[in-house]
Amino acid sequence: MLVTRCLVLCAVLAFETLAAGQHLTAPTNVRSNTLSKITADCNVQPRSWAPPARVVGDAKTATLNTTDVQQNSNIAVTASCVTSDGKLHALSTMVHVIYSPPPAAACTATPTTVFAGEPVDVTATGTSFDAENKVIYHWISNGGSLNGKNDQTARIDTTGLAPGSYTASATITDPQMTKNGTVTCSASFNVAEKPRNPRQ
């Protein structure tokens, strides 16, 4: 009898939850030291999120912080929602923290040798960043004028540069990473001295 009543009650509760259309939307796998968005599809605003040390939010969208979470571990995320009829439902999901190597960057300059006045294109390529996150680029150079300093590829105007070697450096940042989210790289280029007596 108790088993039958439990089965009926569980079925009713499951039906109410499904009828309300409530669920949590979260990534199945996340990297450690990152910020990820979690959404609770509640009829009204969630009353609370858990675990409070990892999930921050007071609305239907919260942020999961996996700073220093051990890789290959799981985090149970819960949102307590109150439906329009005043009933409290606990919506839960499991998020798996996966292993990922730290990001790195490599810079190239094309061409590597020019005469003053000729352009040089410098490109920064990041690896091991989360493909779903938009990274931020920033270039600096100790010679020439930079165009597109916040793009993956920037162009250096070498007009007026004296012959010699110069360096352009890029910083790539993933704002969704809480640790190790910024990497740098550099590329060198040379400004050659023009021939004083060019061949006729």
Query: Quick check: 47 and 88 in contact, CB under 8 A?
Result: yes
Quickly tell me which residue has 């858990």 as its tokens.
Answer: 50
Under DSSP, the state recorded for 152 is S
Distance of CA 151 to the CA centre of its chain: 17
The answer as to whether 113 is a domain residue is: yes
The answer as to whether 112 is a domain residue is: yes
Q: 83 and 151 share a domain?
A: no
According to the model, what pLDDT value does residue 177 have?
Answer: 94
Q: Which of 98, 114, 136 is the last residue of a domain?
A: 98
Quickly tell me which residue has 């165009």 as its tokens.
Answer: 147
pTM for the whole structure: 0.76
Checking phi first, is residue 175 left (phi over 0); if not, alpha (psi -120 to 50) or beta? Answer: alpha
Domain of residue 64, CATH code: 2.60.40.2470
Percent helix, strand, coil in the chain, to 5, is 10, 50, 40
The answer as to whether 67 is a domain residue is: yes
Tens digit of each residue's pLDDT, the chain (200 residues) = 333 333 222 322 332 333 345 678 888 899 989 999 888 877 666 678 888 889 988 778 889 999 999 889 999 998 888 766 777 778 888 999 998 889 999 999 999 999 999 999 999 999 999 888 999 999 999 999 999 999 999 999 999 999 999 999 999 999 999 999 999 999 999 999 988 765 55
The answer as to whether 7 is a domain residue is: no
Could you tell me the residue range of the domain that residue 135 belongs to? 104-192
